[in-house]
Structure formats: structure tokens, C-alpha cells
Amino acid sequence: MTDKAQVLQALEGVDDPELRKSLVELGMVHDVSVAEGHVSFTLALTTMACPLKDSIVADARQAVLALDGVEEVEVALREMTQKEKERIWPKEQKKSQEPGVAAHLNHVKRVLAVMSGKGGVGKSSVAAMLAVALRQQGKSVGVLDADITGPSIPKMFGLHDPPPMGPVGILPAETSTGIRVMSINLLLPSEDDAVIWRGPLIGGAIKQFWGDVVWGNLDVLVVDLPPGTSDASLTVMQSIPLNGVVLVTSPQDLAGMVVRKAAQMAAQLKIPVVGLVENMSYLVCPKCAEEIHVFGPSQAQGTATRLGIPLLGRLPLDPELARRCDAGEIEGYPMETFGAVAEVVLDRASARPSTPMF
């Protein structure tokens, strides 16, 4: 008959995919109970928003089910206490929590992340337009491109040259209107080169873009997150003090479903959600000015109501925007429609930033 010691032995063979150590060694296994073929235990995760939690639970369950006589496995989840996190966090990772070399030179009043549930909804173009609109309103603005494997911000702004190195840290590239930009694409030999990195490397790059880049004095730093709730988004939300998240969706119900997952992630990490922007909401007919709902009727108001957040605006599907982005001329795109959205975003952003966990 299987006993507690055998369960723990089986779980010693299951590793946390990020920390690369056994769940037992990391102290993640608690409250093991064995009774007549039924095994239950609790896994303490570093964060309940961990994108790999389903995989960890599945691996743990499978390892215990392989034991003789075990017919059912029940796994409960909880988040580690701060003391538990400090106990397992490797020394080299604790080191990475220290401020970057340029942190003492940076004074950023507001940090706003732009996030979507899925790709293809125009999240990066919304992030770029937010930066441009705020710059046109007289704000000093920066853009941190955290979409490491799919960076598009530099191309939209017509930036191609590598950023210079300053005496303390990396100096961000600067656009024609004075927006400061940092992106992995500016550091690659060719903008077409693929970034084939695992999560820890991506997370390290994002932290460097925050702490080792000389942003200087900024009214607003816009962070363009990758789509979904992956490691990169988690790194930003855990390591950068955010004043708010702007969610971007498109009219399809599928996009609305996935953006609700992004909102849930922000809520679990206690990041305030500023509101929702529906992109590509309609197309204006060039002949009769009628609104054509290319992707179906708008779901934005229903999604916003369900999430308990305001609908900040519905943006049209505009060929001119696509042309401007491709040509690196997004700063020349008319901002009459988006200017009001940018004002509301800044007004609704929390005055108190979130507290980084790591």
C-alpha cells in the first residue's frame, strides 16, 4: 500500500520547469494525505498566475498515479508566503532583484502596460499610438518593447540603428518627436533575426531594459507586452512597478474571451486595469462613410461590463495606419480619435504603482 514517503519520493522526480529543481526540494509540497487509493496534497506556487501551473499539476498528478494502488489524486494550489519565496529563490536570482546600473538616474512618473489576450489585435500599434498621443500632449514619453520574440515598435517609429552606450548604461533610441525607445530589435545584427530564447533569458532582457537603460526623467513609460499571459508578461508585472494596464481586444468573441484571461492575470497580481480598447472595431467606407463591421458586431461594451472596467474607445480598421506603421511614420498618423483615449488612460492610471514581487 502506498504511503506518504512513497508519494514524496515520486514527487521528487517532478521538477519546477523554471527553477529546474524538484518540487519537494523547493518545499512546494504540503499536506500530503493517503487513504484507500486516494492521495491529496497541496502545491505552493511562487505565484498563482504562473503560466506553467497546469503543466506542473499534470506532471505531479501523473507521477503519483503511477504508484501502486493509487486510483485518485487531488491537488490543491496556493501561493507561497514571502518567507517561502525567499527560502527557495536562488542567490543569482536574488542578485537580479537589485536595481539596475541606471536605476538611480531614472525618474518615471507613470508606467503603463499595454496587454492583449491574443496576438493579431493590434496591441503594439495601440501602444505606439498611446505614446505618440501623450507626446503630442506635451508629455515626456518612453516605450519599452517587452515583446522580445515579436518586436515591432522600432519599425513603426522608423528606428533601425543600435542605441548608443552611455557612461552608465544603454541610452534609448530617440524618435523624430523625442519619444525614447528600447527594443531587442535595436540590438540585433539584422531586424529580421529571430530571438529564440527560453523564458529566463527573455525575463532577464526585460529587467535590463527597465534597470540598465538610462530613461532619465519621463512623465510616462509605455510597456508593450507580448500577447497572452506568458513568462514575459509575468516578468513585467512582477518586476516593474506599474500604474496600470490597458487591455486591447478586437470585435471577435474569441478575442474577448482571451482578453478576459489577461484581465484575470492582472487582478491576481494586483495590477490596476485602466480600461479596454477595442481595435479594428469597424471600417469606414471611403465612398459613403458607412461603418462596416468587418469582424462582426462589437463585443467591447459587453466585455468591459463583464470585467467591471470602462470601455476607453473603439478604434477603426484604418489602411492609413497600416501604411504609416510599415513606413515607420506612426508619429505622422492623425491622433484626433486616439487623443481623447490617451487623456482618459492617464487620468485613470493609479497614482500609486504596484509593488514588484521580485
Average pLDDT over residues 101-123: 89
Question: What is the predicted pLDDT for the residue at 220?
Answer: 97
Instruction: Give domain 103-348's CATH architecture.
Output: 3-Layer(aba) Sandwich (3.40)
- Provide the percentage of residues in the chain whose pLDDT is more than 90: 57
- Provide the percentage of residues in the chain whose pLDDT is more than 70: 94
Question: What is the predicted pLDDT for the residue at 273?
Answer: 95
275 or 88: which carries more pLDDT confidence? 275
324: pLDDT strictly greater than 80: yes
Question: What is the predicted pLDDT for the residue at 164?
Answer: 86
pLDDT in tens, 172-186: 999 999 999 999 999
Question: What is the predicted pLDDT for the residue at 320?
Answer: 94
As a whole number, the mean pLDDT across the chain is 88
Most confident of 35-49, 190-204, 253-267: 35-49
Lowest mean pLDDT among 86-90, 91-95, 343-347: 91-95
23: pLDDT strictly greater than 50: yes
Residue 351 neighbours by CB distance under 10 Å: 7
Picking from 274, 275, 340, 313, the residue whose alpha carbon sits closest to that of residue 137 is 340
Instruction: Give domain 4-88's CATH architecture.
Output: 2-Layer Sandwich (3.30)
Question: What is the predicted pLDDT for the residue at 91?
Answer: 47
pLDDT confidence of 89, banded at 50, 70, 90?
low
pLDDT in tens, 40-55: 999 999 878 776 788 8
Question: What is the predicted pLDDT for the residue at 350?
Answer: 87
Average pLDDT over residues 159-170: 87
Q: Where are the domains of the chain?
A: 4-88, 103-348
pLDDT confidence of 201, banded at 50, 70, 90?
confident
pLDDT in tens, 262-291: 898 888 888 999 999 999 999 999 889 899
Average pLDDT over residues 114-138: 92
Question: What is the predicted pLDDT for the residue at 358?
Answer: 58
pLDDT confidence of 98, banded at 50, 70, 90?
low
321: pLDDT strictly greater than 90: yes
